[in-house]
Structure 1
């Protein structure tokens, strides 16, 4: 596995992640790690003709989560190389299939991309969590959800629809909570007394139109090796459930 770090960051976390990844998996294409200055873009994987790029913010690259974040992105690359439907399905095609002829709020349309990423993350983390302890991931999920719940807009003035972070609005925060619970339950990581459940309950109360348990079941029950058509249907269904059926009101197409 060929990993090269480009930018002012120590290569150790990325090489350590590669060593751990190679105990069970491998990548045919080389990986280029590009360290970015933008702290809001934590990590993302890109795929080109014959190589992958792991984009990571300088803040993330120098954090205690650097190795775990790199391992997660390597897992995305592996799913891409194996042509797993979660990593080859076009979200634009899904939006067309799910929402044509329907009126959907612009903010919810934007959130559909985040939901699709959650489904990709489920399959990437099936790999990640088979390789590394979940301690740091649990701390990260708990921190993110706690911050989102605390940072939610007030009931009197929910006007901050331009933000696309976890705290953008209560609806997507509730779906993010469902994703976190699905991930930990899928891998039996916690018991029902874990603080994640308390934060998820608050997120659900803040978004009465979003059924947290229903979205949790959708994420948790994703089959390991779906066919292309089965995965497309699952993504269409969850997109429609969020954008159309969770309290949508008439809005711009």
Structure 2
């Protein structure tokens, strides 16, 4: 696995992640690690005909999660090279199939992309967690969900109901909680009394119209090696469950 780090910054996390990754996997194309200045820039992988690019801020590259972030993105690169259905399926095609003839809020359409990304992450982390420990990932999921649940609105959503998750989008927060719990259960990272269950319950209570249990089941039980048709149908069903509605198609 050829890795090339561009820009000044730490190199150890990427080399350590490569060492873990290569115990069971490899990449055909070289990986260029692009260290960026913006500390708020999220970590993501880009794919080209002749290379993969791992974009990461110097701050993230210096964090305690740096190795795990790099390993996760290497896993996405592997899925891309495998032409895994989760990484080659067009989300736009799924939205058309699932929501044609429906009227859907734009915010919910954007959330559908996040649901598709969660499914990609499940399949990437099937690789990540096959070669590396899950403790840091579990702590990362727990802290992120705890921060969301703690950001409560002082104004109830409706009389008698206190909002338990972020005031902006409690519905996608519930889906995010289902993803976190599903990933943890899929890889046996949590005991029955883990705090993640309480946090997920709080997020689900704030979004009663979201099928929390259904989304958790979908994420947790994604087939390990689906064919393209099966994967497309699962994503269509998830999209309809979250954003389906009556009326004309959204523009």
Q: TM-score, normalised by structure 1?
A: 0.91
The 3-state SS of whatever aligns with 1:46 is strand
1:32-47 aligned within 5 A = 32-47=32-47
In 2, the alpha carbon distance for the partners of 1:27 and 1:89 equals 20
Unaligned runs of 5+ in 2: 159-165
Separation in 2, partners of 1:10, 1:238: 40
1:58 equivalent in structure 2: 58
Rounded to whole Å, the distance in 2 between the matches of 1:36 and 1:13 is: 15
Q: Which whole-Å deviations, capped at 9, do the CAs of 1:209-251 have from their partners, x for residues lacking one?
A: 1121110001011001111111111111101111126xx9999
How big is the shift at 1:181?
Answer: 0.7
Q: 2:85–2:228: 8 Å Cα contact kept in structure 1?
A: yes
Q: Secondary structure at the match of 1:208?
A: coil
Cα deviation 1:174-216 (Å, max 9, x = unaligned): 0000001110111111112100000001001111111211100
C-alpha displacement at 1:167, in angstroms? 7.5
CA RMSD of aligned residues (A): 2.0
The 1-side partners of 2:152 and 2:102 are apart by 28
> 1:26 — aligned with what?
26
CA distance in 1, matches of 2:24, 2:11: 21
Corresponding residue for residue 145 of structure 2: 145
Question: Which residue number in structure 1 is paired with residue 76 of structure 2?
Answer: 76
User: 3-state DSSP class of the match of 2:236?
Assistant: helix
CA contact (8 A) 2:100 2:249 kept: no
SS at match of 2:223: coil
Alpha-carbon distance in structure 1 between the residues aligned to 2:115 and 2:180 = 12
List gaps (5 residues or longer) in structure 1: 159-165
CA separation of 1:188 and 1:119: change in aligned 2, threshold 3 A? same
Whole-Å separation in 1 of the counterparts to 2:182 and 2:114: 15
1:116 counterpart residue number? 116
- Number of residue pairs matched by the alignment: 244
Structure 1's consecutive aligned runs of 4 or more residues displaced over 6 angstroms after TM superposition are: 248-251
Aligned residue for 1:129, secondary structure, equals helix
**Matched-pair contact (CA < 8 Å) for 1:6–1:33:** yes
TM-score, normalised with respect to structure 2: 0.92
Rate the CA distance shift 1:249–1:13 in 2: closer, same or farther, 3 A.
Answer: farther
Distance in 1 of aligned mates of 2:167 and 2:16? 32
Q: Distance in 2 between matches of 1:217 and 1:76?
A: 22
Task: Kindly provide the CA deviation profile for residues 39-72 of structure 1, in whole angstroms up to 9, marking residues without a partner as x.
Answer: 3332111000110000112221110000000000
1:239 aligned onto 2:234 = no
In structure 2, do the counterparts of structure 1 residues 51 and 153 end up closer, same or farther at CA, with 3 Å as the change threshold?
farther
